């Protein structure tokens, strides 16, 4: 099998948000703090036609991001911006960050 980077992928994303939804049997974890609800809210926003995000944005679960006691944890690429201490009702904060990333990308491309 050969591997190759997908640098020419026409489906390239302008914003890719990962939300840790990991559930641990013991100890603190994002899954026990409402991470699935937060992920679902962002997924709904990403698919809302009125937002116009379309295929430019993707929202995914992630496994443990290594800051379990500080969860809920999320990370946005390509910015490489991290959040800790999120709760299930913090969708507006992440929505604003995604929109900001899209706006900056649009500016880079000349408006």
Question: With respect to ligand FES, which residue has the nearer C-beta, 66 or 111?
Answer: 66
Give least dist CB 14 to ligand FES, A. Answer: 25
Give least dist CB 99 to ligand FES, A. Answer: 24
Give least dist CB 61 to ligand FES, A. Answer: 10
CA atoms within 13 A on the CB side of 59: 25
Cα-Cα-Cα-Cα torsion 94, 103, 81, 20, nearest 10 degrees, comes to 40
Helices (H), 21-90: 35-47
Cα–Cα distance measured from residue 33 to residue 35, given in angstroms and rounded to the nearest whole number: 6
Query: CA quadruple 47, 49, 51, 55: dihedral positive or negative?
Result: positive
Question: With respect to ligand FES, which residue has the nearer C-beta, 29 or 45?
Answer: 29
Question: With respect to ligand FES, which residue has the nearer C-beta, 64 or 97?
Answer: 64
Residue ranges in contact with ligand FES by CB under 6 A: 20, 22, 29-30, 64-68, 71, 73
């Amino acid at each position: 099998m050969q591997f190759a980077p997908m640098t020419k992928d026409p489906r390239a994303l302008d914003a890719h948000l990962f939300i840790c939804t990991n559930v641990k049997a013991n100890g603190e974890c994002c899954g026990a703090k409402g991470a699935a609800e937060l992920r679902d809210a962002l997924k709904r926003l990403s698919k809302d036609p009125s937002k116009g995000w379309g295929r430019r944005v993707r929202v995914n679960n992630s496994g443990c991001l290594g800051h379990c006691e500080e969860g809920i944890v999320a990370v946005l690429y390509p910015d490489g911006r991290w959040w800790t201490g999120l709760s299930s009702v913090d969708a507006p904060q992440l929505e604003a960050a995604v929109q900001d990333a899209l706006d900056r990308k649009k500016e880079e491309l000349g408006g």
